[in-house]
C-alpha cells in the first residue's frame, strides 16, 4: 500500500502554475449543475464554502457549533504571513518557502509549502476584500511586524486579535452567500459517515445534535475542513477540542492520515495553573517582537520565585539568562517556535523554571517599556496584556509574563490510496 500525494510533476517553482494551466475548467453555466459539501466552517471551511458559492457552485456547509463564528480559528491572534515585501527588506516567495520548510523541521512536503508561499499574497488581498481591518501605517499602507523564525517583517495583523477579525471577515462572506441562496448552512450537526462511490467521496451522513435526526446528503465532491487532533495531548489551546470524528469516518472509509507529525507547538502559552483546567490560553507570538525571554541563572533563585519568596524584579540583570539571545543571536527571541519551545523545556528540566509547577519562563517587557514608553506597548498589545492579567492576576506592565510551550495547532490531512491499491 502506498500514499499518492497528487503533487504535480515538474520544477518546484512551476509545479502548481503548470497544474493550473493543465487543469480542465468548468464554464460558469455548468458550475450551477454541481453541488459541493463542506464539513467545517472555520477559516478553511468557511472560506472554501464562500469562494465556491461565489464561483457558482451549490454548497452545503455543515457546522458542529451553533454558529460558524465559534470556530477555533478565533485563537490565531498574532497574524498571517505573506511575501509581499512591503518593507523592502529582502522578502520573497522563495524566502517564505525556505523559512517555512526550516520552521517545520524539514518535515513538510516541499511542493505544498511552495504553493502556500505563492498564494500568500493573494490571501492577504482576499482578506482585505472581505473587510479584515489589518493594521496600517500612518500613510494608510498595510503594516507588518516580525514573527518567530523569520528575519524579515512579513506578518500582517489586526492588533492582537487577528484570528477573530479574519473569522469575522470569513463569516461575513459566508453569510452573504447564504443570503444569496448559494450556501445552505447546517449548524449543530455531526458527521457520522462518508459516502464513497467508485473511490470518490460523494456524500455524508450527519446527525442533528439538537433533535437527534439522522439524514444523508449527496454531492459531487466533499471537502473536510474539520480541524485537528490537538486534544490527544490532553491540555491544548483548543477551546473545546476540535471534533475529529469526520476525519475518523474518512479514515474508516480508506483514507490515510498523511502527516501525523503536523503539530504546532506554541512557545508563548500561559502555563498550567491547576488539575481541573479544561484548556490552555495562548498569548500571541507577536509578543516576542518586544518581549525578552529569560530565566534566572541560578536554580535557587528559580525555586524562590516558585515559592513566592522572590519576584522577577528581585533578580538583578547579571543574574538573568536571556537564553534565546545567548544561544541564537541572529534570531534572538524571534527564533523558530520549535527551537524556542525546546529551549524553554531545557531550562525547566534544569530546575530553572519559574511557574508554580516549575514549567514556565519569563516574557519580560521592561526594556521595551523603557525604550518606547508604556503607551506604545499598550497600543500594540493592550488587549493581550489585559487578557493575561485577568487570567493570571498579575500586571504584565509591572512584572514579566510567565509562558510555556503548548500544543496550539494540529492538522489532519488525509489522502486516498493510489488507484492500484484500492482493490
Torsion of CA 173, 174, 179, 184, to 10 degrees: 160
| Alpha carbon distances (Å) from 406 to 139, 204, 278, 358, 381 | 38, 34, 13, 15, 21
Cα distance between residue 414 and residue 328, in whole Å: 36
Cα distance between residue 129 and residue 380, in whole Å: 24
Strand 256-257 relative to strand 414-415: parallel, antiparallel, unpaired? Answer: antiparallel
Catalytic residue among 154, 337, 352, 380: 337
Cβ(389)–Cβ(396) under 8 Å?
yes
**337 an active-site residue?**
yes
Q: Is 380 helix (H, G, I), strand (E, B) or coil?
A: helix
What distance lies between CA 123 and its chain's CA centroid?
15
Which residues neighbour 283 within 8 Å (Cβ) at sequence distance 6 or greater?
268, 269, 270, 363, 384, 387, 388, 401, 403
> What does the block give as the cell for 222?
466533499
Cα distance between residue 402 and residue 400, in whole Å: 6
Rg (CA), the chain: 23
Cα distance between residue 320 and residue 298, in whole Å: 8
What is the DSSP track for 87-142? T-SS--HHHHHHHHHHHTTT-S-HHHHHHHHHHHHHHHHHHHHTT----B-TTSSB
Q: Is 36 helix (H, G, I), strand (E, B) or coil?
A: strand
CA-closest candidate to residue 184, choices 220, 223, 217, 224: 217
Question: Helix/strand/coil (H, E, C) string of 277-302?
Answer: CCCCCECCHHHHHCCEEEEECCHHHH
Cα distance between residue 260 and residue 97, in whole Å: 21
Angle at 415 between CA 412 and CA 420, to 5 degrees: 160
Catalytic residues: 337
Amino acid at each position: 500500500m502506498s500514499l499518492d500525494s497528487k503533487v504535480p510533476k515538474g520544477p518546484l517553482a512551476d509545479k502548481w502554475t503548470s497544474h493550473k494551466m493543465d487543469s480542465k475548467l468548468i464554464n460558469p453555466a455548468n458550475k450551477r449543475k454541481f453541488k459541493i459539501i463542506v464539513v467545517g466552517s472555520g477559516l478553511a471551511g468557511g472560506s472554501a464554502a464562500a469562494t465556491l458559492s461565489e464561483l457558482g457552485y451549490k454548497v452545503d456547509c455543515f457546522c458542529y457549533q451553533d454558529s460558524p463564528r465559534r470556530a477555533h480559528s478565533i485563537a490565531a491572534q498574532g497574524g498571517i504571513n505573506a511575501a509581499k515585501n512591503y518593507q523592502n527588506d529582502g522578502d520573497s516567495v522563495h524566502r517564505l518557502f525556505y523559512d517555512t520548510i526550516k520552521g517545520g523541521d524539514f518535515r513538510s512536503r516541499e511542493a505544498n509549502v511552495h504553493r502556500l508561499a505563492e498564494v500568500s499574497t493573494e490571501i492577504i488581498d482576499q482578506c482585505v476584500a472581505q473587510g479584515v481591518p489589518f493594521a496600517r501605517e500612518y500613510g494608510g499602507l498595510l503594516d507588518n511586524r516580525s514573527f518567530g523564525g523569520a528575519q524579515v517583517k512579513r506578518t500582517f495583523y489586526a492588533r492582537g486579535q487577528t484570528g477573530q477579525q479574519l473569522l469575522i471577515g470569513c463569516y461575513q462572506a459566508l453569510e452573504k452567500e447564504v443570503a444569496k441562496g448559494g450556501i445552505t448552512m447546517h449548524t449543530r450537526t455531526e458527521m457520522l459517515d462518508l459516502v464513497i462511490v467508485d473511490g470518490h467521496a460523494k456524500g455524508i451522513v450527519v446527525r442533528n445534535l439538537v433533535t437527534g435526526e439522522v439524514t444523508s446528503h449527496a454531492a459531487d465532491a466533499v471537502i473536510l475542513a474539520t480541524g485537528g487532533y490537538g486534544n490527544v495531548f490532553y491540555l491544548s489551546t483548543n477551546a473545546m477540542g476540535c471534533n475529529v470524528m469526520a476525519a475518523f469516518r474518512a479514515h474508516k472509509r480508506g483514507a490515510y492520515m498523511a502527516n501525523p507529525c503536523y503539530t504546532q507547538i506554541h512557545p508563548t502559552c500561559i502555563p498550567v495553573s491547576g488539575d481541573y483546567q479544561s484548556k490552555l490560553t495562548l498569548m500571541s507570538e507577536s509578543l516576542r517582537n518586544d518581549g525578552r525571554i529569560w530565566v534566572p541563572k541560578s536554580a535557587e533563585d528559580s525555586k524562590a520565585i516558585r515559592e513566592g519568596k522572590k519576584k522577577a524584579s528581585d533578580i538583578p540583570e547579571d543574574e538573568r539568562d536571556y537564553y534565546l539571545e545567548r544561544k541564537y543571536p541572529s534570531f534572538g527571541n524571534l527564533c523558530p517556535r520549535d527551537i524556542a519551545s525546546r529551549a524553554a523545556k531545557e531550562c525547566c528540566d534544569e530546575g530553572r523554571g519559574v511557574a508554580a509547577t516549575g514549567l514556565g519562563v519569563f516574557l519580560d517587557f521592561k526594556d521595551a517599556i523603557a525604550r518606547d514608553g508604556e503607551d506604545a506597548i499598550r497600543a500594540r498589545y493592550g488587549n493581550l496584556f489585559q487578557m493575561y492579567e485577568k487570567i493570571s492576576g498579575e500586571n504584565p506592565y509591572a512584572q514579566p509574563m510567565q509562558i510555556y510551550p503548548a500544543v496550539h495547532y494540529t492538522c489532519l490531512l488525509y489522502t486516498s490510496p493510489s488507484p492500484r491499491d484500492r482493490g
